[in-house]
Amino acid sequence: MQTDLGESAVVLLSGGMDSAVVFAMAQERGLRCHALSVAYGQRHTSELVAAAGLAVSMQAASYKVVNVDLRHIGGSALTADIDVPDHGGTGIPVTYVPARNTIMLSVALGWAEVLGAAELYCGVNAVDYSGYPDCRPAFIEAFERLANLATKAGVEGQTMRVNAPLMAMSKADIVREACGHCDACRLRAEGFQNAGVADPTRYA
Amino acid sequence: MQTDLGESAVVLLSGGMDSAVVFAMAQERGLRCHALSVAYGQRHTSELVAAAGLAVSMQAASYKVVNVDLRHIGGSALTADIDVPDHGGTGIPVTYVPARNTIMLSVALGWAEVLGAAELYCGVNAVDYSGYPDCRPAFIEAFERLANLATKAGVEGQTMRVNAPLMAMSKADIVREACGHCDACRLRAEGFQNAGVADPTRYA
C-alpha cells in the first residue's frame, strides 16, 4: 500500500470533456493521478471506451473501472428506457441518475483509502447542470465532511479533500481551459504533424 | 413510481442477524420495507443467500441485489487475499472494507429516491465494531446531511432520514431484541411445531 497521502489523487473520469479537463488540472497541480470510471449501466458505453483511452493517453498512474449497475435501480433516462426530450424542461431533468455522484464519489473514496490518496477530483459543475441536486457546492462540501468521518485517514487526523474545480465555470470557460492544452489535444496535434497532414482543428 | 414518501423504507440486508433485526424494527414501525443487499465481492457469498432468504421470509415489499465489486479496490481481508487474525489487534481491523458503508448507503439512497422512500435503515453499530470509522454516530449524521443535499427529496423540501437503530446496542441487547420475535424465528418455531418435532432452540 502506498503512503504518499496528500500527493496522490483519484480522479473520476467519465470519458467526456469535463472530467478530462479535471484530470489535466489535477496533474498540473503535481498530483499522481489515478483515474476511476464507474460503469453504472449508462446507455452510452462509448463513454467508458473514451475514458479508458484518455486514461492511457493522459498517463494516469493507474486506471480502474468499477461496476455499479444502477440499471437495477432505474429512475433515469440514462439507465432506464425513458425518452430524453429534445428540449429542456422545468425542474430536475429525466437524465438525472438518482444518487449517481454520491455513489461514484463513494467508490472513489474507497479506492483513495486503499491507495493512500487524500485528494478526490470530479467534474461536477453547477452552472450548466443546475437542475441536478448532486451538482451543487453544498453537496460537495457535505461529501467532503462525510469522507473525513468515513475513513481511516479522517480518524487518524489527516484530511481528505474533495475537489470540483469546474464547479463555477461555464461550458465556454471549460472549453477554453481544455482546448489545446491537455495531453489529448497535444497528442492529436502531434499526430497530424507526424503524419504530415494539415491539422483542421481550431484550438481555442 | 410510488409517492408514499415517508411510509416506505430501504433496509440494507446483509444476511446476518443485525440487519435482520433492523428490518424487523423498521417493519414494526409500520413502514413498507424494501430490502437491499450489496454484493461487494465479499468472500462469504453465503451471506447473500441468507439475505435473499430473509427478504422472502420477512415479506419484504421487494428485494434487490446490486453488484458493486470492491474486489477491484482491495484493501480488506473481506474482499482481498489478506489473512484474518484469530485475535483482535489494535487500531482499525484488517476486516475493515474501505468506504463500504458509504458505498452501501449511497446505493440505498439511489434506490430510495426511485421508490419515493424517505427512510434508510442499516445495522451499523458502534459498540462491537468501534474500530471501524464508518460505524460511528457522526458518520450516520453526516450521511443523512449528505442525503438531503444529494436528492430530489432534499431539494423539494422533504427530509431523508438515515436510521441506525442498533448504534448504541451491545450484541447481547441485539440478541435479546431479535430472538424469538422476528419472522425467521417465528417461521422456524412453526416449522418444528408443524412437523411435530420438539424445538431444540433456546429463545432469549
pLDDT recorded at residue B5? 47
In this structure, what C-alpha cell is assigned to residue A12? 473520476
Q: Identify the CA nearest to B17 among candidates B173, B136, B140.
A: B173
3-state secondary structure at position A43: coil
Residues with Cβ within 8 Å of A164's Cβ and at least 6 positions away in sequence, in order, are A121, A122, A123, A124, A125, A137, A140
Q: What pTM did the predictor assign? A: 0.81
3-state secondary structure at position A41: coil
Q: Is B137 on the interface with A (CB under 8 A)?
A: no
Q: Is B73 on the interface with A (CB under 8 A)?
A: yes
Contacts of B68 in chain A (CB under 8 A): 66-68, 107
pLDDT recorded at residue B175? 81
Q: Is A94 on the interface with B (CB under 8 A)?
A: no
Q: Are A85 and A94 in contact (CB under 8 A)?
A: yes
Mean pLDDT for A64-85 is 72
Q: How confident is the model at residue A3 (pLDDT cuts 50, 70, 90)?
A: very low
- Cα B115 to chain center, whole Å? 18
Q: Identify the CA nearest to A149 among candidates B159, B71, B146.
A: B146
Closest Cβ opposite residue A152 in set B66, B92, B138:
B92
Q: Would you say how long chain B is, in residues?
A: 204
Place of cell 416506505: B8
Chain A nearest C-alpha distance from B186 (Å): 31
Q: Is A107 on the interface with B (CB under 8 A)?
A: yes
pLDDT recorded at residue A60? 96
> Whole-angstrom Cα distance, residue A26 to residue B87?
42
Indicate the Cα dihedral angle B114, A93, A70, B32, nearest 10°.
0
pLDDT recorded at residue A141? 97
ipTM above 0.90, yes or no: no
Q: Is A82 on the interface with B (CB under 8 A)?
A: no
- pLDDT above 90 covers a percentage of chain A that reads 46
pLDDT recorded at residue A93? 66
For chain B of 204 residues, list the mean pLDDT of each consecutive stretch of 10.
Answer: 64 93 95 94 81 93 89 68 58 73 95 93 83 88 96 83 94 79 69 82 67
Where are the alpha helices (H) located in chain A, listed in sequence order? 17-28, 46-57, 100-115, 137-150, 152-155, 171-178, 183-195
Q: How confident is the model at residue A4 (pLDDT cuts 50, 70, 90)?
A: very low
pLDDT recorded at residue A201? 72
Mean pLDDT for A60-70 is 90
3-state secondary structure at position B63: strand
Indicate the Cα dihedral angle A175, A180, A183, A185, nearest 10°.
90
- Average confidence score pLDDT of chain A: 83
Chain A nearest C-alpha distance from B182 (Å): 28
A100-115 vs B137-150: helix crossing angle, rounded to 10: 140
Q: Are A98 and B114 in contact (CB under 8 A)?
A: yes
Q: Is B65 on the interface with A (CB under 8 A)?
A: yes
pLDDT recorded at residue A117? 94
Q: How many CB atoms lie within 10 A of CB B52?
A: 17
Is B106 in contact with A103 (Cβ distance < 8 A)? yes
Residue ranges of domains in chain A, CATH in brackets: 8-171 (3.40.50.620)
Is A133 in contact with B152 (Cβ distance < 8 A)? yes
Is A73 in contact with B134 (Cβ distance < 8 A)? no
The lowest-confidence range among A22-26, A77-81, A173-177, B33-37 is: A77-81
What phi-psi label fits residue A121: left (phi over 0), alpha (psi between -120 and 50 degrees) or beta?
beta
pLDDT recorded at residue A1? 41
Is A75 in contact with B106 (Cβ distance < 8 A)? no
Chain B nearest C-alpha distance from A39 (Å): 10
In this structure, what C-alpha cell is assigned to residue B184? 425467521
Indicate the Cα dihedral angle B123, B127, B132, B137, nearest 10°.
70
Is pLDDT at A30 greater than 90 in this prediction?
A: yes
Q: Is B1 on the interface with A (CB under 8 A)?
A: yes
Where does A62-121 show beta strands of DSSP type E? 62-67, 119-121
pLDDT recorded at residue A110? 93
Q: Identify the CA nearest to A39 among candidates A18, A64, A76.
A: A64
> Whole-angstrom Cα distance, residue B92 to residue A181?
43
Indicate the Cα dihedral angle A140, A142, A148, A149, nearest 10°.
-150
- Written in H, E and C, the secondary structure of A170-198 is CHHHHHHHHCCCCHHHHHHHHHHHHHCCC
Q: Is B132 on the interface with A (CB under 8 A)?
A: no
Mark which residues 156-175 of B lie under 8 Å from A by CB: none
| pLDDT tens column, A150-172 | 988 877 888 999 999 999 998 88
Q: Is B100 on the interface with A (CB under 8 A)?
A: yes
pLDDT recorded at residue B89? 57
Is B75 in contact with A102 (Cβ distance < 8 A)? no
Is A134 in contact with B149 (Cβ distance < 8 A)? yes
Residues with Cβ within 8 Å of A30's Cβ and at least 6 positions away in sequence, in order, are A7
Q: Is A98 on the interface with B (CB under 8 A)?
A: yes
Nearest residue on chain B to A70, alpha-carbon basis: B66
Is A110 in contact with B92 (Cβ distance < 8 A)? no
The lowest-confidence range among A58-67, A72-81, B5-14 is: A72-81
pLDDT recorded at residue B106? 96
Q: Are A168 and A127 in contact (CB under 8 A)?
A: yes
